[in-house]
Amino acid sequence: MSKPKLPTIHKAGIRVLKAISASIRIQILSLLLERGAMSYTEIMNFLKLNVTRDAGRFAYHLKFLLGADLIEPDSETKKYRLTDLGRRIIEITDEIERKTYKRRKMLVRTSRFTMEEFDRNRISQSLVREANVPTDLAQKVARETEKRLQRFKTKYLTAPLIREIVNAILLEKHYEDYRHRLTRLGLPVYDVTQLIETRLPTVEAIHKEAGNAVMEEYALLSILPRNVSDAHLNGSINLHNLGTWVLKPNEITHNLQYFFQDQKPKSFEAALTITNRTIQDFAKETSGQQNLEKFISHLAPYGKDTPPSKIKELLRLFIQAMNQVSPIPITMSLEFSPEENDPYSSETFRLTLLLLEALMEENRAHPLQNPKVIIKVRQEQGKTTEIEPLFHEVHKLAATSLLVYFANLCPKNQANATYTSSGLRLSDDWYGDRELDTQRTGNLDTIAINLPRISFEAKGDESRFFELLESQLNIAKQALEIKFKTMKKRIEQDLLPRLTQKTNGDEYFRLKNATRTVVISGLKEAVNALLAGKEESEGNAETSSLAVSILEYINQYTSKHTRKPQTRLTSAIVNLGSTAERLAELDVERYGWGIAKTRGTKEHPHYSDISTVSLDRMEQLHIEERIHQLTPGGHLAIVENEQAELSVEDLQVRTRRLAASELGLFCYKLSLTFCSHCKKTSSGTHLKCPECGSTNIVSFKN
């Protein structure tokens, strides 16, 4: 009796089992899974077989695998690759190994704060989901990661450690783009410890700094293109507010009438309460300053029947609240000149005088840092009997506090300008409408250009300098466009509800009208470097001419690339916190002290930003006027006092002289020392209190 024939499927199965019965054939399959297609010689070399001695044996094994349909040749590349069946066989052998020979159990502490058994499938799934890695490659990387982790003898693994191993494998295999997308955000334990122990004064500041660090990494790794991120990291540019770059706009100028019409306050106290709440709410959705435009004018209709003593007390409480709201200044813009047919002009004068008195009294108790006051200076100020007392009081405040700034609105192009104390400027140069162009909008954000770096790279060649400058301006413009798009996305996600609140369908914050500002850092150092180290001199015609040429070039660039309705590109010279220090430090590290000639000390180098001017040096003043004209996005001059102390009358004379100039925004240079022991404030910087001799003092200066 003849034997029954086995079904074809059984024959195929037996053929496969025979094919994997030899360990060398399993090794070949594993190698092709991990490395991809390989040639005959490459496989032999990886298995450390002798091409002459072992060729016959190797060909025998290879033929077995081909016959079982576990591998197949590629006719074009002359290489062997796994078939789907071969890949499945490796997966099955891995599963058999796990169940038959108990591997060391690996526990993982996950980002969800749980302990789970290691599963390499989660690695491949993460690679596909987070970095868009092809499935085959993801599985290969996961297998390699498991092998390496098995060699460790730790009590448990962590998710960050596994991610580091995965990233290392991706780099070894030259998949840098995938590694870039998979990078984990966060701070090392040491850095967090330093934040807590040494750097910041409050727990909220520590929490904010840690959060900013994560968001900075996110912006650089996931939002900004590589050329922008690299330019920021190497110090060619500096992205201000990087921690909130993808979350919030920078500055906003308010129109309080919008909130008063909506909420209808019935008293002066209610109007101040609404103002205070507005500032508090918008502090959560902006990174920089908030400006209360025409502050007193908007309050005037609500103060008529309130006694002066009550008004002053309410203003004192408001000032105290503003001084504590955040380390970021709040600006109050004050108009001394009433608009035509203003029925509340006399009430505005009365309230302004009470506000100045309240600021004086609060500042006398302790030097105030907030709120800053922008005085809008016009031609008629100081000439009428009504304005004269206000003009006198504001200079009294300017002589004893760091709160007062003067916006010179006398030049024709300044008539409808508004500033914050950062120096950033808005004017009716967008749609030609003061309300649309300067209120309920602000500054999207700022990017500083490292001009000295460009000079060092140009090596005295001015043509090369302007080529490199345009390249950096292009990068800044690109980054600011991305900022605009991310703000639109945050608005679409309804993550900025205060900014986007509507009345009668009219959205509050006019995003498209917000300026995008290129800030010029280190102009003086750049000019000196280009002119082959000539001594800086404001009277040097060549130095001044080159500085003006650079500003004109940047101004022309921003004008050329401004596009309505949403690309409002401007240039400015303002102080951006630690930006000038960061850029100088990076240049010193890169070029050395011989090339990177900075200001400050070797411990604290910095580049120039805003200028100090003197009325006794007219050439210097004329240069500063030209700088202000060529930086329509913002500027600020600090006016030096040649005498140790100036009377209020002297300051008034100086302000009138400066109002006749082309300066846009200025303040008077001042330093104060406050003694925590005797609670007295004295002019100048001291090592100990001039009144009581205590060393428990705090210094303030602008």
Residues 480-521 have pLDDT tens digits of: 999 999 999 999 999 999 999 987 778 999 999 999 999 999
Chain centroid to Cα 649, Å, comes to 42
DSSP classification of residue 22:
S
Confidence of residue 365 (pLDDT cuts 50, 70, 90): confident
Spatial distance between the Cα atoms of 433 and 343, rounded to a whole number of angstroms: 23
For residues 443 and 251, the answer to whether their CB atoms sit within 8 Å is yes
pLDDT at 111: 59
Q: Do residues 135 and 125 make contact, with C-beta atoms less than 8 angstroms apart? A: no
- Can you spell out the DSSP letters for 446-466? EEEEEHHHHHHHHTT-HHHHH
pLDDT at 382: 47
99 falls in which pLDDT band (50, 70, 90)?
A: low
Match 């600006």 to its residue by tokens: 331
User: 492 by DSSP, 3-state: which?
Assistant: helix
- 16-30, 101-115, 333-347, 595-609, range with greatest mean pLDDT: 595-609
Query: What is the structure's pLDDT at 305?
Result: 83
Check pLDDT > 50 for residue 101.
no
Query: Tens digits of per-residue pLDDT, 196-244?
Result: 776 666 777 777 778 888 888 889 888 999 899 999 999 999 999 999 9
Going along the chain from its start, the domains and CATH numbers come out as: 8-98 (1.10.10.10), 103-182 (no CATH), 251-407 (no CATH), 425-660 (3.20.70.20), 670-702 (no CATH)
Residue 51 has phi, psi (to 5 degrees) of: -60, -35
Spatial neighbors of 477 by CB under 8 A, at least 6 apart, are 516, 518, 561, 569
State mean pLDDT over 7-21: 69
Residue 153 burial by CB count (10 A; 0-12/13-18/19+): exposed, middle or buried? exposed
Distance from C-alpha of 161 to C-alpha of 164, rounded to nearest angstrom? 5
CA distance 537 to 253: 38
Mean pLDDT value of segment 417-442: 96
Residue 641 clears pLDDT 90, i.e. is over it: no
CA atoms of 151 and 147, how far apart (whole Å): 7
Residue 10 reports pLDDT greater than 80: no
Q: Do 697 and 689 form a contact (C-beta atoms < 8 A)?
A: yes
Mean of the per-residue pLDDT values of the chain:
87
Indicate the DSSP class of residue 220: I
- Which band of pLDDT confidence, cut at 50, 70 and 90, is reported for residue 536? very low
- Give me the residues paired with residue 520 across strands: 449
The H-assigned helical ranges of 235-267 are 256-263
The DSSP symbol for 173 reads T
Tell me: pLDDT of 538 over 50.
no
| Residue 21: how many other CB atoms lie within 10 Å | 10
For range 567-580, the mean pLDDT: 95
Task: Convert the pLDDT of each residue in 412-422 to its tens digit.
Answer: 999 999 999 99
DSSP string, 322-334: HHHH-SS-EEEEE
What tens digit of pLDDT does each residue of 386-403 get?
A: 788 899 999 999 998 999
Q: What is the pLDDT, as a whole number, of residue 6?
A: 52
Q: How confident is the model at residue 434 (pLDDT cuts 50, 70, 90)?
A: very high
List, as own/partner pairs, every contact residues 187-191 make where C-beta atoms lie below 8 angstroms and the sequence separation is at least 24, other chains included: 187/213, 187/214
Q: What is the pLDDT of residue 40?
A: 83
Neighbours of 631 (CB within 10 A): 27
Mean pLDDT of 653-667: 94
Of 5-9, 28-32, 205-209, which range is least confident?
5-9
**Residue 120 vs residues 73, 132, 160: alpha-carbon distances, Å:** 29, 17, 15
The pLDDT tens digits for 288-336 are 999 999 999 999 999 888 899 999 999 999 999 998 876 788 999 998 8
Q: Residue 301's pLDDT is what? A: 92
Q: Where are the beta strands (DSSP E) in 118-236?
A: 157-158
CA 243 and chain centroid, separation: 5
pLDDT tens per residue, range 292-301:
999 999 999 9
pLDDT of residue 83: 86
Quickly state the pLDDT bin for 537 (edges 50, 70, 90): very low
Checking if the pLDDT of 349 tops 80, the result is yes
| Percentage above 90 pLDDT, the chain | 49
Q: What is the pLDDT of residue 539?
A: 47
Question: What are residue 682's DSSP bridge partners?
Answer: 673
Q: What digits encode the pLDDT tens for the residues 34-86?
A: 777 888 888 888 888 887 788 888 888 888 888 888 888 887 888 888 888 88
pTM: 0.80
Confidence of residue 254 (pLDDT cuts 50, 70, 90): very high
Ordered alpha helix ranges (H), 219-267: 226-234, 256-263
Using DSSP bridges, classify how beta strands 71-74 and 79-82 pair: parallel, antiparallel or unpaired.
antiparallel
Identify the residue with better confidence: 175 or 270. Answer: 270
CA distance 397 to 419: 19
Q: Residue 582: its pLDDT value, please?
A: 94
Q: What is the pLDDT of residue 100?
A: 54
For residues 632 and 238, give the distance between their C-alpha atoms in angstroms, rounded to a whole number.
Answer: 20
| pLDDT at 533 exceeding the cut of 90 | no
Query: Is the per-residue pLDDT at 90 higher than 90?
Result: no
